[in-house]
Structure 1
Amino acid sequence: MAKAQADRIVHKAAWLYYTHGLRQDEVAQRLNISRASVALYLRRARETGIVNISTATHLFRGEQLAREVEDKFGLEAVWIAGEDLAAGEAEAEIPSLGASVFLEMVGRGQRVGIAWGRTVYAIADVMSFADLEGVTVVQLCGNLGAPYSYRPDQCTMEIARRLNARGLNFYAPLVLSTPELASALRSEPVIREQLDSVAGCDLSLYSVGTLDEDSHVVKCGALTANELAQLRKQGGAGVIAGQIIDRSGRLLDCDYNRRVISADLESLKKIPRRLTVVQEESKLAPLRAALAGGFCTHLVATAAIARGLLAGG
């Protein structure tokens, strides 16, 4: 066996045994080798440093960091990526970690609410395929005409496809031209029924948006950069399901929010498990607002974000 191929099978055996928790006979069956070979490869992995038991201390630091965030913000569970990675590398790990956590949380027959954005679509893009009987994936906010892959309907339907689930799109725009038109549309029976059903979801998945020029509400054309700057002056701190919230996590009293077609924020908070996934450290302030508003029960974030949360007041 060539050296490169031998090294790969040692890595694979160690990965299956130590990371995925397979027994030695299960590793042997998976790799189509003998159990004696598995034992040999695991010993070689330890001797050559492929597996280093001292890495448990790094795992503990990550776990300790997660527990501290849970305790400070009263969260049910927190997963931390990149305790020993550079910022960019840690951010790159978030979609895969978020997808794994999400799949562990989804149960058969459940109703799942999905918001939108680059992080949510990145999660959908790396999510493993699963066959979950009776799952319904629901779009939480109105749609956009902008040709972005991470628009709300795309996020919803891609996750539904990965789960082999039923997808329910929201056939209304995210933002209308006047508050009166938005109010009338919300009163339409088909839209009212979908908005009212949000509180009946078992699980939600979303990220938080910033209020800067890179914000998805700017890039999709819902707001201009100048309009967003004015909303910051009025106390805007972040975006949840297309809506602007203040630093306390309350819906900002502004013309934009009155023109939005999206799940009522109180309905979002009635969803029992609310998974929030955050990649960029620039989203620390919006995440603080979301936590203050009670929009998060489960969190996936980088170690840098976790430390930022703990350092704040």
Structure 2
Amino acid sequence: MPIRPADQIIHKAAWLYYTHGMRQDEVAKHLDISRASVAMYLRKARDNGIVTISTSSQLFTDDVLARELEDAIGLKAVWIVPENRQAVDPTSEMPVVAAAVFLELVKKGDRVGVAWGRTVYHIADVMPYADLQDVAVVQLCGNLGAPYSYRPDQCITEIARRLNAEGINIHAPLVLSSERLADELRAEPVILEQLASISDCQLALYSVGGIEDDSHLVKCGALTAAEMHALGEAGAAGVIAGQLIDANGHLMDCTYNRRCISADLSSIRAIPKRMMVVQEENKFEPLVAAIKGGLVSHLVVTTSMAQKLLARWATEAKIS
């Protein structure tokens, strides 16, 4: 079994102290905890055998991989869902792990930005109930007209219900028929205030979308398959909060994006904890783009996806 999400900080403290050679005060500063907590975690690491990770490869393989990926890419934290355990379906385990991680990261009084998609809705669907009445769950982008359970307003409403928190929906479409209409709607005081307040969030929860001809944006009618294909040819690499990004994680300069009602990417980057959950193999390149664009700080992925990411960064390091 991998280390439970709640115990990950013990592994991180041990990793920084024993592998990176940090002093206890340096570990405390890096993890934003007290030095006394570091000493306690190191003691627990010794008691639990975590400090013998070099000789316990079978037990801690995925957790060592998570730490290596954090080091290579510069992420704050990585959680890995194994794919090689019998009788465990990573498809069903991924949202359970992600929900547990999310509940660890959200604190009372937080403002939480949430995007949309099947992954996010599955996380909401398995999220345990918690009493976080002073938490606000904020929609990161406008709504979709399609009758999917994973549209933005549904994701926000369900997560807010599970947390006993306030849900704040953006009462606007994701995409308008013209750039002029989008500009005018973004200038409306209520929408303007909602979008401006996104950078005040302490936590964001989202996934990254692909640009296939049958992607969510095509299925919901925001783009046609031909339009999506053309945008891919023009450099689009993925979808963040309903907006198209290029291979470096920058907002695409295109008519579609200018017609979107969604959080500015700089507002999302300003959120301290940007939690992304990705499982599907076809989302590898979109995930790489999101990481390069500074849109990820906390990541939940499968073992194979983590290995591919580590290999990609190793290759690019050699090239550079």
Cα distance in 2 between the residues matched to 1:85 and 1:240: 31
Contact 1:62 / 1:83 at 8 angstroms: preserved in 2? Answer: no
C-alpha displacement at 1:189, in angstroms?
Answer: 0.6
User: For each residue in 1:21-76, what CA deviation from the matched residue of structure 2 results, as whole angstroms up to 9, or x when unmatched?
Assistant: 9xxxxxxxxxxxxxxxxxxxxxxxxxxxxxxxxxx643411011111111111001
Q: Equivalences for 1:153-232 in 2 at 5 Å?
A: 153-232=153-232
Using the TM superposition, name which of 291-300 and 66-75 deviates more.
66-75
Q: What is the distance in 2 between the residues matched to 1:193 and 1:59?
A: 49
Equivalent in the alignment of 2:263: 263
Residues 182 and 260, structure 1, Cα contact 8 Å, conserved in 2: yes
- SS of equivalent residue, structure 1 residue 137: strand
- State whether structure 2 residue 243 is matched by structure 1 residue 238: no
Letter matched to residue 172 of structure 1: A
Cα offset, 1:90, TM superposition: 2.2
Alignment partners' CA distance in 1, 2:83 and 2:125: 24
Shift of 1:92: 2.7
The answer to whether 1:61 aligns with 2:61 is yes
Q: How does 1:1-313 map to 2 (within 5 A)?
A: 57-85=57-85, 89-312=89-312, 313=316
Q: Which amino acid aligns with 1:175?
A: V
Query: Which runs of at least 4 in structure 1 moved beyond 6 Å after TM superposition?
Result: 18-21
Measured against aligned partners, the alpha-carbon deviations of 1:162-191 in whole angstroms (never above 9, x if no partner) come to 000000001000000011110111011111
Indicate the SS of the match to 2:244.
Answer: strand
List per-residue Cα deviations over 1:88-141 (Å, max 9, x = no partner).
922332111100000011100110000000000000000000001300000000
Contact residue 5 and residue 101 of structure 2 kept, 8 A: no
Q: Which amino acid aligns with 1:191?
A: I
In the aligned structure 2, how far is the partner of 1:195 from the partner of 1:266?
Answer: 11
C-alpha distance in 2 between matches for 1:275 and 1:178: 32
Q: TM-score by structure 1 length?
A: 0.81
Structure 2's unaligned 5+ residue stretches are 8-55
Match of 1:32 in 2: none
How many matched pairs? 264
C-alpha contact (below 8 Å) 2:5/2:97 kept by paired residues: no
| Inter-partner Cα distance in structure 2 for 1:19 and 1:178 | 45
The whole-number CA distance in structure 2 between the counterparts of 1:184 and 1:302 is 42
TM-score by length of 2: 0.79
Structure 1 gaps, min length 5: 1-14, 22-55
Corresponding residue number in structure 2 for 1:3: none
Counterpart of 1:41? none
Q: Which amino acid aligns with 1:145?
A: G
Match of 1:52 in 2: none
How far residue 20 of structure 1 moved from its aligned partner, in angstroms, is 8.9
Q: Is the 8 A contact 2:133 2:166 kept in 1?
A: no
Distance 2:141 2:278 in 1: 19
Whether the aligned pair in 2 keeps the contact of 1:91 and 1:302 (CA below 8 Å) is no
CA shift in 2, pair 1:302/1:135, >3 Å? same
Between the aligned partners of 1:265 and 1:196, the Cα distance in structure 2 is: 11
Cα distance between partner residues in 1 of 2:6 and 2:158: 27
CA contact (8 A) 2:83 2:89 kept: no
Separation (CA, whole Å) in 2 of partners of 1:109 and 1:59 = 37
- Give the direction of change, closer, same or farther, for the CA distance of 1:185–1:19 in structure 2 (3 Å limit): closer
Letter in 2 for 1:308: K
Report the AA paired with residue 71 of structure 1: D
Q: Specify whether residues 19 and 199 from structure 1 end up closer, same or farther in structure 2 by C-alpha distance, changes over 3 A only.
A: closer
Q: Percent identity?
A: 60
RMSD: 2.1
C-alpha separation in 1, matches of 2:230 and 2:274:
29
93 and 221 in structure 1: CA distance in 2 versus 1, 3 angstrom threshold: same
Contact 1:58–1:84, Cα closer than 8 Å, also in 2: no
Equivalent-residue separation in structure 2 for 1:298 and 1:58 (angstroms): 24
Residue by residue over 1:275-303, the C-alpha shift from the partner in whole angstroms, topping out at 9 and shown as x without a partner, is 00001111000000000000000000001
One-letter amino acid matched to 1:274: R
